[in-house]
Amino acid sequence: MDKILDVREMAPKERHPMIFNTFKGLDPGESFVLVNDHEPKPLLYQFQNEHAGEYEWWPLEQGPEKWRVEIARRKEAAPERSVTDYFQTDHRRLDAIYERFEDAAAGGQWDQALSDFREFRLGLTRHIKAEEEILFPLFEEKTGMIDAGPTFVMKMEHKEIKELLERIESNTASRNATEVTEARTLLMNILADHNMKEEHILYPESDSFISDDERAEVLKKTQLL
Ligand SMILES: [Fe+2]
Ligand SMILES: [Fe+2]
């Protein structure tokens, strides 16, 4: 279980020093979950400026009352990071949340399953948004492949994935085990193949077409979504 740092009751001026001290106290590969009462964008800017390449920033909940972000210390700190590494790491992270959801659903722990699934859905929705709004347009601009290229196929699959996310969440909320099982199977079939195509084709090709500056920009903008 991750450490939790809830700063909601702290005086505002004490929050950032406390957060950075907690971060500095992490061993490589460790993380903590920050809980806050507003969107922690200024904090993210500070991480981007002062700790480039050293951390991961994974939002788990984005309001309206509570914001939760998992902040990790990367195992190997490196300011230059490939698109492939970043998005692939996010795929693995989401797989792990999804497994928690499956275990909870299989054990009939529906409240836990619902909160795990919401985390998964938020993460995957942000991931897809980053691909569609930040990475794919750059890929299309560099390759000229728009209507018949790989991004076109990926976007069609994203649409199906998002529909299934909606279906699984509503059926988890209403505890309809049969429907959840059916939609889960469909989602896993699409997602396994989808992620593999991205990891083997789209991300590495993106890395080969874009400059180091563009790559850094993609990753910064993605974190800010
Ligand atoms: Fe995708
Ligand atoms: Fe992806």
The predicted model gives 202-207 an average pLDDT of: 95
User: pLDDT tens digit string along 120-137?
Assistant: 999 999 999 999 999 999
| Long-range contacts of the stretch 16-23 (C-beta < 8 A, 24+) | 16/43, 16/46, 19/43, 19/71, 20/46, 23/51, 23/55, 23/71, 23/73
The domain locations on the chain are 3-73, 83-224
Closest-approaching ligand to the CA atom of 151: 1
Residues with Cβ < 8 Å from 2, sequence gap 6 or more?
Answer: 31, 32, 33, 70
DSSP code of residue 5:
E
DSSP code of residue 78:
-
- Of the pLDDT bands very low, low, confident and very high (cuts 50, 70, 90), residue 144 is confident
Confirm whether 3-73 and 83-224 share one CATH topology: no
Longest Cα pair distance anywhere in the chain, in angstroms? 54
The predicted model gives 17-31 an average pLDDT of: 96
- Rounded distance from Cα 27 to ligand 2 centre (Å): 28
Q: Looking at domain 3-73, what is its CATH homologous superfamily?
A: TusA-like domain (3.30.110.40)
Cβ–Cβ contacts within 10 Å for residue 109, how many? 13
Fold of 83-224: Four Helix Bundle (Hemerythrin (Met), subunit A) (1.20.120)
- Rounded distance from Cα 182 to ligand 2 centre (Å): 23
- pTM score, whole prediction: 0.94
Residue at 59: amino acid letter: P
Closest-approaching ligand to the CA atom of 199: 2
- Rounded distance from Cα 158 to ligand 1 centre (Å): 6
Q: How far apart are CA 190 and CA 25, in angstroms?
A: 39
> Per the structure block, which two tokens stand in for 95?
């797989």
- Of the pLDDT bands very low, low, confident and very high (cuts 50, 70, 90), residue 148 is confident
- Rounded distance from Cα 220 to ligand 1 centre (Å): 18
- How many helical (H) and strand (E) elements, i.e. helices and strands, does the chain have? 9, 4
> Per the structure block, which two tokens stand in for 90?
């996010």
- Rounded distance from Cα 96 to ligand 2 centre (Å): 15
Closest-approaching ligand to the CA atom of 95: 2
User: pLDDT tens digit string along 31-56?
Assistant: 999 999 999 999 999 999 999 999 99
